[in-house]
Amino acid sequence: MTTALIKGVSLRGVASCVPTKVFDNQKDTVDFDPKEVKKVVAMAGVKQRRVVEEGVCASDLCREAARKLMAQLDWSADSVDALIMVTQSPDYFLPSTASLIHRDLGLSTHCAVFDVGLGCSGFPYGLWLGSMMVQSGSAKRVLVLHGETPSRFTHFQDRATLLLFGDAGSAAALEAGGNNTWGFSLHSDGQGYDDLIIPGGGFRCATPDDERDNFLHMKGSNIFNFTVQRVPELINDTLELVGETSEQTDTFIFHQSNQFIMKHIAKKCALPLEKIPLTLAEFGNTGGPSVPLTMTHHYKDKVVERPEKSMLLAYGVGLSWSSAYVVVEADTQFLHMDYPGNLTASKTAEAESKESN
């Protein structure tokens, strides 16, 4: 396994952005039997999802999250040393999506930008990369973005995936400073590469004979078995790595894959449900961005009176799984917004004032 203990990095803020369009699974689904839809909703816990309009990409959601977060933190464009864009929903094969966001945010030419092609497990991986850049001294300020639009690659006849996935983007701001120690545990198993796959569209099979291969295929039982086996091990290994216990950990932020799976893992690991925030009912499974999305919804209206320890857990396509054990400070900023639409966050007035100046 790949593990790391990293010091001298501060989580300055996290922002999330979702489309304004709401799809109610039970009211708006027309291609499946209502009784079957009701069963899926009850098991997975996805009552509604946010889905992008035509022409809106993951980059658009991430750009707005980053823009608002930078304004909130009073970060100038030329103060950002690196931007990491984690996505499997790119605008183009080339150039990198990070390059487009670099353009839109007006970042300087000394800023390093690149894409990371990871999905469900990507947010902890992105934080690991960004925090290593800070710890090494090569960067003082890093933006880690993660955005996905899985509603674009689910097939309208596939009940197993269509009713699960929503779209979201996010931005996290890392900065040098602080005395906290963060822990990371990162894993992969390429033998399960086809348990979640879009077979067509890449250079291996650019124009598949079956149009269905341009959309997501999921082996649900394999994904379930993989998750319930690997994630409890990941939780225990991460706690051992950082020298903490589940009782000492304030929150466990899960990738919002499936309500049944998360509750099964919580029971297996004896984790109290009040420490596991859920956003599935409102936003669905947004892929990797579900982790920062759930963070913003848990913390944006909460008064953090002391540093809180939060374990971020992500797992899925690849197959890959990862964790980040981070510290949330009293002054860490959390924002959430619709695209296009309004910002809802603590200190909203301050953020808007800074953006207009």
Q: Which residues are catalytic, by number? A: 120, 255, 285
Region for 16 from its dihedrals, namely left if φ exceeds 0, alpha if ψ lies in -120 to 50, beta otherwise? beta
**DSSP-assigned letters across all residues of 187-250:** EE-GGGGGGEE--SSSTTSSS-SSGGGGS-EE-HHHHHHHHHHHHHHHHHHHHHHHT--TTT--
Helix (H) or strand (E) holding 317: none
Tokens 């961005």 -> residue: 289
Cα→Cα distances 174→38, 69, 256, Å = 41, 11, 23
Q: Name residue, tokens 């390059």.
A: 99
| CA atoms of 80 and 70, how far apart (whole Å) | 9
Sign of CA dihedral 329, 339, 152, 92: negative
Sign of CA dihedral 241, 243, 245, 251: negative
- Among 55, 45, 25, 66, which Cα is nearest to 254's? 45
